[in-house]
Structure 1
Amino acid sequence: MRPSQPTTGMGSALFLILLILAITLTSHAQNISAASQMGFIRAGKYMYVQGGFIQTTPVNRTLTGQVYSLDLSEPWSLDSPPWKQLESETPSFLPKLVALPSNETIYSFGLNYSAQYDVTSNTWTSLNPGNPPEPWIFGSVPIVDPTSGYIYLAGFYYMNVYSPKYDSWTNSSIPTDVYPERFFPQGGYNRARKSLMYFGGYYNLTTWCTMSYVTEFTIGSKQWNTLSPSGQIPGPRADHCLAFSEDGNTLILWGGRVPITQGNTVAEQNQPTAEIYLLDFSSNTWAKGEDAPIAIMYPSCTVVGDQLVTWGGESSSSIISNVMTTKWWL
């Protein structure tokens, strides 16, 4: 869905957030079921969602293999987005999706699971050689380099790199003082800096990453770096959504789970958050936006013009979110 107002700098009018959220069990368009812990990706003018948990009763949920796309280039009503049903895939939770530069192939990585989706033929096939060399990559974030088409997957100890052209993996060690054993961070490609950026997550599933910094991997030099911006710095979080403005000059963090109390380092003690933060790279400064109407973890999101489009996720262990008409200025 295209914005109705022009994009301006972060210091003036910021992003218009379109929250496609509600506490309901179904959606009207194409009968998509509200989902949480689903995979998602923007590929060209479409947003794709795959799998996750759907709610079957107010207290029960089940895994789904549903796959849908949403056309972001045409206007549509927020209370009835035109989801298109695609070929379903093996039911899975927290699959991580990545699209090749052609926007014609999507890869999905999960727990002992890898597959590829052909957009043109609407078909899924198993990915060979399957999972990367590092045994445990569940919860890692695959990111594609749009220049080379290589897929980068930062694990606990290695940066695993997959070549779709040669159907093979390579890897290199990650400096433990820069990116130590990160689990369930979020990340993305910054086109302005030609680098991969990560924020948040846990150490070994038990401890929050208490340092609120952005970790950067510059593809050309293969160097790791830590960015420590000033401003209204976000605290530790995981299972959030991370996106970049289309020009790469702004990083957006939305939702996720955060410690129940400030300074708490125990990962199990957490709650969903409605917070949104924006990092302006020109000034190296964080700014906190107005909280969303509802706290959400595991949301999907993507930026279209000056809008952040987000769908799904959950506000508690028993409530999965879906569609609602809400416009939210930061």
Structure 2
Amino acid sequence: MRSFPTSSIRLLLITVATTVILSTPALAQTPVPVCCMATAISDGSYLYIQGGFTSVATLRTAVPQFFALDLLVETWSTSTPPWTWPPNVGGVTPPASNGHSMALSNDRGNLFIWDPFQPAAWWTYNIGARYWSSYSIPRNVTKQSGIRNGVDMNTGNVFIPGGADNGTQMIMNSPGSSEVPLTPMPTTLLPTPVVQASFVWSTYRNSFLHYGGQSIAGNIANPNLIEFIPTTGWQALATTGPSPGDVSAYSGTKMIVFGGAGLNGVTNADIHILDLPTREWTLGMSANATQARRNMACATSGDSFVAWGGESTLAIKDVTPIVYDMRNNQWTSQFRRNTTLPMPAEPSTPISTKVESRQY
């Protein structure tokens, strides 16, 4: 098991769908390249991205942008990704921020942002009604970058491990309730509070998986994969094979790990896959070293894994996504949801249509 867990962004592909209305894709509009953004994936259909750091001259500046990558478009080139910009018809948009996290509600109707650096730590975007709202959490929240939130897809409850009392307590909230009960983090499994760990819901195991990151105090790696079952609590989860560092997920039965950085700050370009039924890691094809990154947005849709943004050891990455064909174990410039179908004769472009009732 690698001793240097990474800090790349990770997301879980869920399999239930619902109907929402999004804006017409704005093909001429390009997002500002960022790292350290909040991201969420909706059933392999949209990768939502909010906030993050961008570079202005020699300085880093937080931005408030909110957009999505339409992963329902069957085929597109990485040079012309199908960006879309969800509208805001009322309310106040979240401020410019970074190091925060975002999760999708179990009914797929809302996005929840946890931002411990803002007075209103909790932000909600109603996807159908298309507006933002916020409220404060009356607790001693942990003001550290890389505190993650996740949604129990059975109950809809939101959990924030390490979210209070300098990483020693986990916050739980039922959306719509003012109650935010705390429970201690498992000190026997996690001897020291950590940040930059992954915390994702596994549809296969019906639990949260918590992996990687580093200690809040000091520069100590966390190599542990542990599991939180909301009805019973925390437990260790043993695996075999060479473990990488940070967790993303594919189809509920596999977790995909790409990039990230060790405690020495050097970014990686390798990709690993954990098969949950066997709990065995395998190594995929590494990306070109120029594509090494951490603190990125990533998602899976069909047979494709997509990463966007993030930062290398020296700079924030550009606006071009990179795509990994998981079925054929190769990096490619063409996103294809179904890689068993023939490749189009020419690279396709995003479909410019209004999304009136998109299954997602």
Please report the TM-score for the alignment, with normalisation by the length of structure 1: 0.79
Which of residues 304, 311, 318 is equivalent to 2:308?
311
Shift of the 177–29 alpha-carbon distance from structure 1 to 2, 3 Å rule, reads farther
Q: In the alignment, what sits opposite 1:146? A: 153
CA distance in 1, matches of 2:27, 2:70: 16
Amino acid at match of 2:238: S
Residues 245-276 of structure 1, C-alpha deviations (whole Å, 9 max, x = no match): 22x221111111113xxxxxxxxx32111122
Shift in Å, 1:161:
0.7
**Aligned residue identity for 2:179:** S
- 2:133 partner letter: T
Partner residue, 2:109 = 104
What do residues 199-232 of structure 1 show as CA deviations (whole Å, max 9, x unaligned)?
A: 111112422325x2311111222x2111221112
| Number of the residue aligned with 1:7 | none
Q: Among the aligned pairs, what percent are the same residue?
A: 24
1:300–1:279 Cα change, 3 Å: same
CA contact (8 A) 2:100 2:147 kept: no
Q: Give the aligned partner of residue 126 of structure 1.
A: 134
Separation in 1, partners of 2:283, 2:147: 26
CA distance in 1, matches of 2:217, 2:80: 37
Q: 1:182 touches 1:201 (CA, 8 Å); kept in 2?
A: yes
**Alignment-mate amino acid for residue 287 of structure 1:** T
Deviation at 1:176, TM superposition (A): 0.4
TM-score by length of 2: 0.73
Structure 2 counterpart of 1:164: 175
Give me the whole-angstrom Cα distance separating, in 1, the residues matched to 2:217 and 2:266: 15
Kept in 2, the 8 Å contact 1:229–1:285? The answer is yes
Matched, 1:285 2:280: yes
CA distance in 1, matches of 2:31, 2:155: 34
Query: One-letter code of the match for 1:164?
Result: P
Q: Does 1:178 align with 2:173?
A: no
Count of residue pairs brought into register by the alignment: 284
Contact in 2 for aligned 1:55/1:320 (Cα 8 Å):
no
Q: As a proportion of its length, which structure holds more strand? A: 1
C-alpha contact (below 8 Å) 2:309/2:316 kept by paired residues: no
Distance 1:325 1:70, change over 3 A: closer
Q: Which residue of 2 aligns with 1:20?
A: none
Instruction: Tell me the equivalent position of 1:190.
Output: 202
Aligned equivalent of 1:253, options 247, 253, 257: 257
Give unmatched runs, 5+ long, in structure 1.
Answer: 1-26, 260-268
Is 2:243 the counterpart of 1:233?
yes
CA distance in 2, matches of 1:40, 1:313: 12
Measure, in 2, the Cα distance between the counterparts of 1:159 and 1:204.
15
Per-residue displacement from partner, 1:162-205 (whole Å, max 9, x unpaired)? 11032321121222011231222112001111110111111124
Uncovered stretches (5+) of structure 2, i.e. residues with no partner: 1-25, 331-360
Q: Is the 8 A contact 1:251 1:280 kept in 2?
A: yes
Q: What residue is the counterpart of 2:53 in the other structure?
A: 53
Q: Distance in 2 between matches of 1:255 and 1:186?
A: 13
Does 1:216 find its partner at 2:213? no
Kindly indicate whether the alpha-carbon contact (under 8 Å) linking 1:216 and 1:225 is maintained by their aligned counterparts in 2: yes
